[in-house]
């Protein structure tokens, strides 16, 4: 730790008595015993500054412990201000995940001081995120809590475990009340010193200075009368009397509404006795509103479900309606509302509260406040109960006697209780502590949360409104009165001898403590007696139990398991078990008293013997629970249910795994470096180069040897089809040019190739050297003579020896048209330039062909070149350019719409070259052939380098071709299939590798192994990026050239390209899809293993995961299930597990969640494979959409009920679930496969039904020994009816239809909404509110209705009658857009462009932007949903 003390703020100056304590703290561990307000925190700051300069503190942190969350920010801010050190604030709400080890490490390394709650620090010790020996100083604020099982004492127990005392940190405690038992203060002092391993010190040398700074506090007892039996002036009937009538007339009503009336009634009587009838009614009103809001939400759910059933015309049994009395109670609360709440956000009560409506105690309080009023008056009133604090804070402001004098706020503890007043922030006012410090409010009504630690300004008046309970509370609350004129008032009821005696005992106890500390410390240590637990709020732990405690430190991590943290570890483990809405929160169950028994939830996938534990006999019930919890965690640690950091295994973000190195290695690889950029520049394999060694590949056209391809790389054979002809490049044979009797053979081949490419492919000259040569062959050898004739001789204009039977071998070039090539067809001796054109030709508008050609070819700076001597015309065929390498995945050329164009040209304007027809065909096919050879070379290299199995060339090419290549095929369909293969293969491996992990843990772990980050890292690790095809073949630029300066001796067979980073993970999944198509799941396992994926190896599942145990026939309960499946199970336990719902507690079998996890992945792959094969032309988006239609809860629930009758055998222990299933069975039984697939959005059956279907499928797969084909056949049969309904053209859901129908209009959706879904157009309500069992179902129903209404031209709410935005947009937008873009005419093409958000924006034929409709779904109050559709102006 490096600290610049010179620049640290010196802050406040310490007094001499503070320096006296500070000097003692430097020498050893001490507890500073000073009264509240004497500056104990400043002494700790002095110690923190000093410790930060010590060499022994280098690399360590200083920890400042606070007992309450509310103190963290206060103390951290003060230390930061006074020291200038780096201070961090830590408590539960601000903490990182315990699995984020790097985050915690950085947090501690980047701070010098940490202000933290002790409980959080203990958890950090438990999970080995920090250790005691890495701390230089521990400061304990309010250290009197260090006793029994308080977290402070837990920290000190860990402190004692550091055997080397030189490595222990210094301890400094601060307290104003080092006692809790006024009957035996000596024991209190001794116990505190023992627990903190420190010495209690006070001020001895500078007592006068200490006393001079603290005037003697004026303590006053203020007595008040007993409350009256009745309040005659309070209006009748009171709210309580009206509600009490319901209990008398309908005793079951409050139970039906889940209102704990007996507790409410008890608190009401306590409040009326303490505060009076108005405050009691105010509490009752708020309490009933809280409970009725929950009851109303539940009633709305019932009404929504009924409304949904009516909308869908479902004939089901009516749901149980809410009790009628509920609405009567709501009416009563509405009637009383004007007395207790104001409209809007004002928290002030609506009426003044006369003193006659208040108790004598409140009247006395008002008198006290009135009599002490002065400028800048500040007062704290301490109460015991939260509802008292809330009610007083509201009522005091509206009592006429305090009008304008009292500005109140209330402060209570963190959390929520049934009174509905537990929020620590005063409603609509803000933070009460801040408001009181700033003197925005002058009266703070607080519970015990304000008694200690919180820094308040010196108060003029501190009132103890409720009786004192213990000595600590007395001392701490009294310490809030610090100024010279402060007064501490204790309110005691008249003639209440017990309350008065209690106060006197507390006063005497404080004096006794002082005497004990100053005169009898040594004697007290030898005169310990058993403490009295009568008023002790903490649990007592027997010393013998403590001595018998065990402690485990994990050797590899130093994580610590103790009796203190074992129960919380189990609670955390159980809280992570997945559950649905019908399963209660999973908790460990403890039974027994002094020897506890523990049963863990069956949701943990453990054997029965690992779910039950028996602890050792103990001397207290709580210690017995800790004992059995300790034994359980110890055993679960051996089973790897907890990892070496005592965290549940496979938590999200977990970095290590305690079983094997799979996760550890994966995380190390994944985070070994930063991510590549979004668009990567990559060097991919490319065979086109010229090297010292050349190779000749014979090119055959329809089996005839036509030409030779000379390359610098030996290429594998490849075949393509072009123009209806088969073009094949044969095996590579070495080429030795030294044997040729020609000079500069490469120059000749290069020149010839360039000539042919320009003539047949590009129409443009090529400057660079070609990276391969296409040459003529004669008798299998290169024909250099014919090449020299072409490249050295000029084209001829001598037509003397030209015969028509050789026309196919003649190329023509027109002097007036550069870059165009023609083939001779006929010599038309019957036509000359002076001939009159036929009427059906374009030249018919001119008198002669001469005039036509002159007009056609003449330019401003150049006249047409026409022969001076009249000659015949030539009938020619225009040869199209072929530079695009597009072809189908099987090598077949794409269908072309090109029309062979026949023209007439004047003979005298043309010259010719003899060029064989077969060679011409070879050059025409050259782009396609070279593209195919590139693909084949890359996939052959990938197969060898990556050690891939024998996947076919075509599938590998498809898997490694990106959409950016703009080919007729890409890897997106295979990626969709491969994604499902990846999920299933990973799922099966994890399920068997980690048998003691539940679905949630497995799901988190699987997500790490199938994440894009993991796939990207595996692809980068194996170099997959070098084999991907993404190049777009240009129609104008010939790419197959040698870069300038390339070394031809040792050429690099790579080319630099750029493509999106995401393409790598897509290719990984596409390779899995390709291998699955080629050789099934076995080849997919081999491919995944070669690519480093976590499939558990290439060994087949059937050999890897054999069935265990003897065959056990299923019971009679499952006989029908076997018949319907057409499959006989080998294991009855497996079927029992598959039908056991998590609510079925204490079952000998675990729940179906692990099998459901497996079945979901298996069904997903079966369905995707089916769709892939059935719809070969379907896009990836269509495949995904169709899969979602059948692999969804409604469809699978339909199959579960109609095909397997699973609702009859599911094992559940939830009446709500059984009732929900029974309600949906008749609905689903009446549906057809077409209904459920096309309108699945209408139905919302309990997810448990579809879960059981998936778990049964998972059980079949496991029971077959993971025989994929056999299990897939069963799934195909089960799902045949719904799969047959699917079609790529099937209709979408109503929301999508609604949007599609409005895609050419701008429809603003606005307006208010209540409960349910409301659709509005131009502030006009079209539909709603629509209620349903879920917001998604309600949204679909609303969209369906809106679509019907808006599409009906006769309906007054039709879109045509409500909206004229489209017409306005046409007037304002079309002309401006056309003018800006220069697009005119009716032939402007339709196009699709991408905007910044990557949303497609369509343009019509005139260039007009066709707008979209944006839909936003917002949740309103009480679950309301608004569909907000707005114009997209982009």
- Residue 1059 Ramachandran class (φ > 0 left, ψ -120 to 50 alpha, else beta): beta
Quote the CA–CA distance of 263 and 891 in Å, as a whole number: 81
Coil, strand or helix at 589: strand
Phi, psi of 110 (to 5 degrees): -95, 5
Coil, strand or helix at 827: strand
Distances (CA, A) of 73 to 44, 87, 689, 1255: 16, 10, 68, 50
Active-site residue identified among 1160, 1244, 1251, 1263? 1160
Annotated active-site residue 1387? The verdict is: no
CB atoms within 10 A of CB 803: 8
Distances (CA, A) of 421 to 238, 411, 1182: 21, 10, 53
Quote the CA–CA distance of 309 and 1231 in Å, as a whole number: 14
Give every CB contact of residue 610 below 8 A, 6+ residues apart in sequence.
600, 635, 636, 639, 996
Quote the CA–CA distance of 42 and 21 in Å, as a whole number: 11
- How many CA atoms, within 13 angstroms, populate the side-chain half-sphere of residue 266? 5
Quote the CA–CA distance of 959 and 953 in Å, as a whole number: 10
Annotated active-site residue 1160? The verdict is: yes
Q: Do residues 913 and 870 lie in contact, with contact meaning Cβ atoms separated by under 8 Å?
A: no
Please name every residue paired with 684 in a beta bridge, in sequence order, or none if there are none. 1055
Quote the CA–CA distance of 149 and 14 in Å, as a whole number: 35
Phi, psi of 812 (to 5 degrees): -115, 145
Coil, strand or helix at 473: helix
Active-site residue identified among 1254, 1263, 1315, 1344? 1254
CB atoms within 10 A of CB 1213: 17
Q: Dihedral of CA 1418/1422/1423/1425: which sign? A: negative
Quote the CA–CA distance of 991 and 983 in Å, as a whole number: 12
Short-list 1062, 1091, 1059, 1099, CA closest to 1074: 1091
Quote the CA–CA distance of 143 and 30 in Å, as a whole number: 11
DSSP readout, 184-236?
Answer: -HHHHHHHHHHHHT-EEE--SS-HHHHHHTSPPPEEEEEEEPPPPS--TTS-S
Helix or strand holding residue 66 (H, E): strand 61-66
3-state secondary structure 45-61: HHHHHHHHCCHHHCCCE
User: Could you tell me how many residues make up the chain?
Assistant: 1434
Helix or strand holding residue 680 (H, E): strand 679-685
Short-list 995, 1004, 976, CA closest to 1191: 976
Identify each DSSP E strand in 471-626 by its residue range.
Answer: 487-493, 552-553, 560-561, 589-591, 597-599, 612-614
Quote the CA–CA distance of 493 and 1 in Å, as a whole number: 57
Phi, psi of 1304 (to 5 degrees): -105, 15
Exposure string (b/e) for 1354-1382, b if CB count within 10 Å is 16 or more?
eeeebbeebbebbeebeeeeeeeebeeee
Q: Which residue intervals of 764-891 are DSSP H helices? A: 784-792, 849-857
Q: Dihedral of CA 500/505/507/508: which sign? A: positive
Q: Which residues are catalytic?
A: 1160, 1254
């Amino acid at each position: 730790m490096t600290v610049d003390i010179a620049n640290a703020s010196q802050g406040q100056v310490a007094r001499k008595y503070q320096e006296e304590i500070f000097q003692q703290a430097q020498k050893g561990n001490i507890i500073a015993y000073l009264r509240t307000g004497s500056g104990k925190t400043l002494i700790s700051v002095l110690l923190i500054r000093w410790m930060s300069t010590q060499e022994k503190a280098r690399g360590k942190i200083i920890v400042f412990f606070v007992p309450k969350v509310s103190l963290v920010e206060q103390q951290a801010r003060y230390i930061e201000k006074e020291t200038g050190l780096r201070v961090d604030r830590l408590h539960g709400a601000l903490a990182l995940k315990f699995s984020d080890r790097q985050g915690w490490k950085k947090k501690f390394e980047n701070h010098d001081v940490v202000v933290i709650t002790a409980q959080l620090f203990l958890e950090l010790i438990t999970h080995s995120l920090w250790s005691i020996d890495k701390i230089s100083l521990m400061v304990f604020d309010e250290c009197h809590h260090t006793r029994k099982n308080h977290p402070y004492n837990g920290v000190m127990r860990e402190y004692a475990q550091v055997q080397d005392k030189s490595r222990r940190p210094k301890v400094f405690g601060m307290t104003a009340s080092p006692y809790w038992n006024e009957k035996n203060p000596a024991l209190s002092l001794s116990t505190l010193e023992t627990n903190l391993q420190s010495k209690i010190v006070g001020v001895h040398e500078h007592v006068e200075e200490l006393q001079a700074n603290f005037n003697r506090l004026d303590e006053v007892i203020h007595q008040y009368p007993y409350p009256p039996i009745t309040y005659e002036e309070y209006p009748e009937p009171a709210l309580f009397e009206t509600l009490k009538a319901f209990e008398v007339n309908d005793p079951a009503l409050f139970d039906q509404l889940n209102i704990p009336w007996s507790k409410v009634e008890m608190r009401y009587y306590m409040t009326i006795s303490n505060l009076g009838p108005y405050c009691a009614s105010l509490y009752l009103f708020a309490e009933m509103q809280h409970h009725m809001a929950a009851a109303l939400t539940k009633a709305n759910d019932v009404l929504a479900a009924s409304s949904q059933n009516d909308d869908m015309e479902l004939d089901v049994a009516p749901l149980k309606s809410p009790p009628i009395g509920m609405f009567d109670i709501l009416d009563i609360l509405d009637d009383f509302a004007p007395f207790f709440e104001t409209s809007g956000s004002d928290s002030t009560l609506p009426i003044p509260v006369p003193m006659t409506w208040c108790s004598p105690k409140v009247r006395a309080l008002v008198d006290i406040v009135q009599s002490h009023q002065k400028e800048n008056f500040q007062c704290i009133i301490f109460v015991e109960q939260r509802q008292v604090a809330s009610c007083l804070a509201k009522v005091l402001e509206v009592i006429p006697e305090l009008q304008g004098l009292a500005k109140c706020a209330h402060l209570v503890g963190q959390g929520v209780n049934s009174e509905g007043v537990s929020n620590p922030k005063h409603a609509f006012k803000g933070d009460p502590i801040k408001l009181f410090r700033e003197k925005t409010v002058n009266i703070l009504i607080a519970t015990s949360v304000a008694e200690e630690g919180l820094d308040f300004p010196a108060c003029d008046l501190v009132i103890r409104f409720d009786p004192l309970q213990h000595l600590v509370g007395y001392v701490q609350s009294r310490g809030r009165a610090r100024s010279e004129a402060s007064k501490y008032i204790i309110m005691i009821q008249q003639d209440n001898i017990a309350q008065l005696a209690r106060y006197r005992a507390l006063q005497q106890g404080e004096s006794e403590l002082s005497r004990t500390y100053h005169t009898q410390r040594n004697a007290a240590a030898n005169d310990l007696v058993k403490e009295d637990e009568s008023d002790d709020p903490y649990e007592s732990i027997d010393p013998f139990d403590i001595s018998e405690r065990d402690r485990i430190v994990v050797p590899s991590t130093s994580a610590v398991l103790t009796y203190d943290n074992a129960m919380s570890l189990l609670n955390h483990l159980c809280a992570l078990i997945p559950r649905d809405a019908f399963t209660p929160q999973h908790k460990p169950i403890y039974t027994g008293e002094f020897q506890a028994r523990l049963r863990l939830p069956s949701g943990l996938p453990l054997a029965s013997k690992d779910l039950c534990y028996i602890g050792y006999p103990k001397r207290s019930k709580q210690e017995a629970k800790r004992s059995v919890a300790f034994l359980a965690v110890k055993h679960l640690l051996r089973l790897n249910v907890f990892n070496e950091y005592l965290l549940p295994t496979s938590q999200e973000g977990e970095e290590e795994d305690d079983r094997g190195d799979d996760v550890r290695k994966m995380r190390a690889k994944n985070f070994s470096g930063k991510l590549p950029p979004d668009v990567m520049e990559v060097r991919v394999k490319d065979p086109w180069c010229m090297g010292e060694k050349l190779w000749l590949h014979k090119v055959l056209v329809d089996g005839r040897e036509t030409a030779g391809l000379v390359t610098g790389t030996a290429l594998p054979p490849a075949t393509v089809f072009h123009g209806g002809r088969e073009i094949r490049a044969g095996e590579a044979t070495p080429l030795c040019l030294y044997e040729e009797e020609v000079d500069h053979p490469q120059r000749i081949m290069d020149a010839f190739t360039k000539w042919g490419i320009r003539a047949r492919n590009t129409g443009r000259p090529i400057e660079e050297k070609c990276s391969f040569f296409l040459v003529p062959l004669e008798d299998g050898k290169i024909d250099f003579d014919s090449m020299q004739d072409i490249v050295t001789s000029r084209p001829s204009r001598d037509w003397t020896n030209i015969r028509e039977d050789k026309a196919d071998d003649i190329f023509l070039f027109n002097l007036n048209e550069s870059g165009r090539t023609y083939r001779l067809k006929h010599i038309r001796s019957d036509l000359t330039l002076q001939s009159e054109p036929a009427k059906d030709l374009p030249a018919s508008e001119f008198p002669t062909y001469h005039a036509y050609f002159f007009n056609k070819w003449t330019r401003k700076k150049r006249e047409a070149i026409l022969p001076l001597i009249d000659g015949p015309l030539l009938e020619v065929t225009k040869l199209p350019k072929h530079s695009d390498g597009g072809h189908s995945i099987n090598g077949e050329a794409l269908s072309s719409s090109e029309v062979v164009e026949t023209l007439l040209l004047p003979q005298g304007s043309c010259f010719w070259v003899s060029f064989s027809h077969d060679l011409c065909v070879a050059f025409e096919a050259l782009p396609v052939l070279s593209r195919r050879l590139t693909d084949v070379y890359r996939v052959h290299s990938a197969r060898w380098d990556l050690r891939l199995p024998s996947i076919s060339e075509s599938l590998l090419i498809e898997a490694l071709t990106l959409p950016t290549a703009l080919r007729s095929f890409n890897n997106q369909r295979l990626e969709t299939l491969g994604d499902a293969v990846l999920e299933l293969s990973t799922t099966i491996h994890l399920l068997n590798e980690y048998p003691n992990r539940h679905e949630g843990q497995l799901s988190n772990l699987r997500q790490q192994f199938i994440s894009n980050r993991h796939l990207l890292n595996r692809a980068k690790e194996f170099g997959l990026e070098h084999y991907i095809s993404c190049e777009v073949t240009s129609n104008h630029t010939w790419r197959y050239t040698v870069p300038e300066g390339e070394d031809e001796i040792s050429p690099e067979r790579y080319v630099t390209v750029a493509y999106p980073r995401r393409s790598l993970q897509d290719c990984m999944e596409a390779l899995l899809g390709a291998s699955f198509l080629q050789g099934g799941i076995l080849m997919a396992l081999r491919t995944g293993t070669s690519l480093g994926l976590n499939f558990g190896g290439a060994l087949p599942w059937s050999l890897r995961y054999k069935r265990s145990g003897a065959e056990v026939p299923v019971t009679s309960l499952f006989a029908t299930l076997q018949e319907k499946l057409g499959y006989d199970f080998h294991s009855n336990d497996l079927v029992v597990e598959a039908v056991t719902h998590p609510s079925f507690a204490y079952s000998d079998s675990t729940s179906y969640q692990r099998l459901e996890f497996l079945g979901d992945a298996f069904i997903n792959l079966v369905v995707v494979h089916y769709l892939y094969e059935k719809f070969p032309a379907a896009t990836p988006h269509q495949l995904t959409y169709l899969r979602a239609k059948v692999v969804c809860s409604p469809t699978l629930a339909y199959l579960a009920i109609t095909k397997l009758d699973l609702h009859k055998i599911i094992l559940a222990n939830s009446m709500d679930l059984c009732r929900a299933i029974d309600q949906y069975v008749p609905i689903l039984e009446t549906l057809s496969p077409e209904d459920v697939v096309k309108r699945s959005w209408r139905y919302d059956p309990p997810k448990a039904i579809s879960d059981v279907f998936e778990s049964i499928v998972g059980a079949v797969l496991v029971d077959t020994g993971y025989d994929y084909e056999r299990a897939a056949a069963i799934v195909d049969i089960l799902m045949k009816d719904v799969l047959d309904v699917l079609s790529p053209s099937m209709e979408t859901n109503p929301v999508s239809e609604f949007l599609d129908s409005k895609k050419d209009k701008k429809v603003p959706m606005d307006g208010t909404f209540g409960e349910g879904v409301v659709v509005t157009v131009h502030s006009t309500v079209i539909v709603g509110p629509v209620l349903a069992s879920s917001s998604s179902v309600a949204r679909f129903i609303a969209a369906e209705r809106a679509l019907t209404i808006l599409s009906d031209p006769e309906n007054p709410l039709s879109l045509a009658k409500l909206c004229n935005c489209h017409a306005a947009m046409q007037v304002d937008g079309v002309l401006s857009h056309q003018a800006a873009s220069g697009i005119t005419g009716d032939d402007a093409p339709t196009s699709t462009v991408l905007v910044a958000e990557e949303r497609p924006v369509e343009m019509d034929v005139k260039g007009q932007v066709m707008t979209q409709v944006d839909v936003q779904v917002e949740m309103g109050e009480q679950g309301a949903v608004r569909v907000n559709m707005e114009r997209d102006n982009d």
